[in-house]
Each structure stands twice: as C-alpha cells, then as structure tokens.
Amino acid sequence: MSQFNFDEIINRKGTNSIKWDHLDDAFGNPDLLPLWVADMDFKSPPAILEAMKEVAEHGVYGYVKPKSDYFDAVRGWMKRQFDWNVEAEWIHFVPGIVPAIALAVNTFTEPGDGVIIQQPVYHPFINVTKDAGRQVINNRLIEMEDGYVIDFEDLNQKAAKPEAKMMILCSPHNPVGRVWRKEELQRIVEICDRHDILLISDEIHQDLVYSGHEHTPIAKLGTEDSKIVTCTAPSKTFNIAGLFASNIIISNAQVGKTFAEALEKMHLMPSPFAIRGVIAAYEEGEPWLKALMAYLTDNVDFVEAYLEKHLPKVRFFRPEATFLLWLDFREYAFTADELERIITEEAQLALNKGWMFGKEGAGHMRLNIGCPRDILKEALDRLAQALNRNE
C-alpha cells in the first residue's frame, strides 16, 4: 500500500479554486461535480508541504530571484528523468507556460504571421495566437483506429507556407493523451529546421507518462541551429499550478538571448514559495510521483472497465500520458447543445467541452481523472444515469 493517501477527499470549496469555486461563472451552476480544470484534487508531496511551511514560518516574503540551487534542481531532474543535459544558462524562469508561449508568439512573430498548431489541442494555443493578431495554421491530427497520429505530409506543406513562422507542439499531447515517439519528434524537428520554423514545445505533462511509454524532450533531437523553445513546469506533476513556476529551456544562444530580453521587459518576478516549491519537488518528489502514476493508472483502468460495462457507446483511446481522458460521445448522435445539456444539467457534471480544443473536438468531452476514486465513481454514475435516460 502506498504511503501517500490519494483516496483522501479534500474539501477545496472556499479556497478560491477555479475548478470548485468558479463553476457558476463557467457553467451557470455552482453545484456541479467538477472534473474539468487540469489540476488534481490531491495534496502535493509532503516535501513540498514542508517547504511551504518553512517559507511561511520565516515570516518575511520579500523579493526573490532563483540562484544556483534552483537551477541545479531543474537540471538534476531533467538529467535523471530524461537523460537531458541542460545548462543553467538555458533556463528562463517564467510564472506560467501559457504566458511564456504568449511572450514567444509576440516576440518571434509579426502580426499576420502563421502559427502551426495540431487540433484538437489545448485551447490556449489557439487563443494566444489569435490574441496576438497571428493566424492559426491547423495541422489537424488524424484519428486512427488505435489513436491519433500526425499528418506529416500536411505538416510539411504548411510549414513551407511563406507566412508560417512558428509551430506550437503539445508533447505529451493534451487532450488526446499521445506520447510522441522519438521518430515522430525527429520528423517534426527536421521539418521545422528545413523551413526555418521556430518550434515551441509545451512539455508540461512530460512527467505524467504511463508504463510502456517514454517521453523524449524534443530539444534533445535538434541540432545546434535548431530553434526550439521547450516549456517545462512541475505544476501538473506535483499539483502546484498555483505557485506559478515554469522553466523555459532554450539551448540556441540567439533565440535564448532574444527571449531573455523580451522577458526582462515584462518585469516578472517569482515568489519565495515558487522557488522553494520547485526545489523541493525536483529534489524530493520522485517517490510521490511514482505512487501518483500507480493511482492514476488504476483510475484509467477503472474508467475503462466502467465504460465497457455501463456505457459501451462512450469511447476513448487509453492515454499514454496525462490525467486527462478524451471521451468520445459521437455514437449517441447528440448535437453539441444536447450533449452539453445532458452532461451539465442532468448529470450535474462540469467537464471541458470538446469544441474548445478546435472543431475536431465536436462530440467529445475532456474528463479529469486526477481525483480520488470515489469522486470518479460518482461522476461516472451520474454520467451513466443521464445518458441512459436519453437513449
């Protein structure tokens, strides 16, 4: 039995949680059972909790800046987990990956330029591109019988467009759960290098990979001249998104210099909690992560068995990474409005709507399984009752 209790149900209401306290804003109903926002309902590792107590008890929360122990912790994690040799000067602290991507889009492209993304995909990729006045170039993922794959012929054609200047990759992929194989990543690097495309790789889910699969940081496959910006963070891994700490890793000297200059103009600073939290996570969090992945694997197994028995029309590809399941409701032939009404009003569930991830997400919902099994069972029971009433 694990020394960590992932079955504990923690009351998050009244904590200003977006997931639990802002349901009325997003869904018009504060009483839904939320399995939407991509944070988990588990306590963070004991080492992080202890680090937070130490910072809190110190009593002085002044301005801080990462020093060598911070960079050593990040470098050590990347080396141990991915055999990736990262230099300290490659690491840029940013309080969040989405702000880092937005900064990169605004720094390395001009209004009207094209940014390649692969829908269905994490919706802020779409938003930051459009908000910056850039155009989305969609290299749509292809749905096969056993999962999603990249359309490389289409990617090469779109990368060759004169307006295409950047690609944002989701690796591992949210929401479809793919861990891209080394050969797939190598082809992406080759295409981007060939067409002088700056590649932003969001690797926030890199640690949440299930047994039998292996994440490769795409930057390991590039050349000295490859323009790759790798976005990493311990936030999903250790459930510390609220600490706002991400590490943007850039080995290309010119790209790194340009990014650092743009970042400096933002005048962003970390909190003392963020710095200590990252160090504790990367130096002492591995046993907890191992136990977490075992629990999440059991949650995936539970959903798979439940759907097979009670909701055989609801399909999903078993995820290779992440605590997010991409549920396919298309066999029911509901309209988008009908599906949303059944899930929100009848099942009383808050799930992420598939269309948010691009038009390819129509008929899908994203389910967050980063929660105690009792909550997950309650959600599936509600879903089964509501769907069976509407068949």
pLDDT digits (tens, 9 = 90+) for 109-152: 999 999 999 999 999 999 999 999 999 999 999 999 999 999 99
Question: If you average pLDDT over residues 158-172, what whole number do you get?
Answer: 98
C-alpha neighbours within 13 Å on the C-beta side of residue 110: 2
The 10s digit of each residue's pLDDT in 274-310 is 999 999 999 999 999 999 999 999 999 999 999 999 9
d(C-alpha 243, C-alpha 234), whole Å = 10
Q: What is the 3-state secondary structure (H, E, C) of the chain?
A: CCCCCCCCCCCCCCCCCHHHHCHHHHHCCCCCEECCCCCCCCCCCHHHHHHHHHHHHHCCCCCCCCCHHHHHHHHHHHHHHHCCCCCHHHEEEECCHHHHHHHHHHHHCCCCCEEEECCCCCCHHHHHHHHCCCEEEECCCEEECCEEECCHHHHHHHHCCCCEEEEEEECCCCCCCCCCCHHHHHHHHHHHHHCCCEEEEECCCCCCECCCCCCCCHHHHCCCCCCEEEEECCHHHHCCHHHCCEEEECCCHHHHHHHHHHHHHHCCCCCHHHHHHHHHHHHHCHHHHHHHHHHHHHHHHHHHHHHHHHCCCCECCCCCECCEEEEECHHHCCCHHHHHHHHHHHCCEECEEHHHHCHHHCCEEEEECCCCHHHHHHHHHHHHHHHHHCC
pLDDT at 330 over 60: yes
pLDDT at residue number 1: 54
d(C-alpha 174, C-alpha 321), whole Å = 9
Question: If you average pLDDT over residues 31-48, what whole number do you get?
Answer: 98
pLDDT at 389 over 70: yes
pLDDT at 12 over 60: yes
Question: If you average pLDDT over residues 316-328, what whole number do you get?
Answer: 98
Q: What is the Cα gyration radius of the chain?
A: 21
Give yes or no for a contact between 350 and 379, defined as CB atoms under 8 angstroms apart: no
pLDDT at residue number 136: 98
Question: If you average pLDDT over residues 206-213, what whole number do you get?
Answer: 98
pLDDT at residue number 2: 72
Fill in the amino acid letter for 117.
Answer: I
d(C-alpha 20, C-alpha 12), whole Å = 7
d(C-alpha 5, C-alpha 246), whole Å = 27
Q: What is the mean pLDDT of the chain?
A: 97
Strand partners for 364: 328
Look-up of token digits 């590490």: 247
Question: Residues of the chain with pLDDT > 70: what percent?
Answer: 100
Entry pTM: 0.97
Q: Note if the bond before 30 is cis, omega within 30 degrees.
A: no
The 10s digit of each residue's pLDDT in 332-351 is 989 999 999 999 999 999 99
State the Cα torsion 262-264-266-270 to the nearest 10°. 130
pLDDT at residue number 358: 97
pLDDT at residue number 140: 98
d(C-alpha 177, C-alpha 179), whole Å = 7
pLDDT at residue number 369: 98
The 10s digit of each residue's pLDDT in 79-96 is 999 999 999 999 999 999
Backbone φ and ψ of 149, nearest 5°: -135, 165
Give yes or no for a contact between 271 and 243, defined as CB atoms under 8 angstroms apart: yes
pLDDT at residue number 391: 84
Question: If you average pLDDT over residues 364-388, what whole number do you get?
Answer: 98
For Cα atoms 34, 37, 40, give the angle at the middle one, nearest 5 degrees.
85
What is the rounded end-to-end Cα distance, in angstroms, of the chain? 41
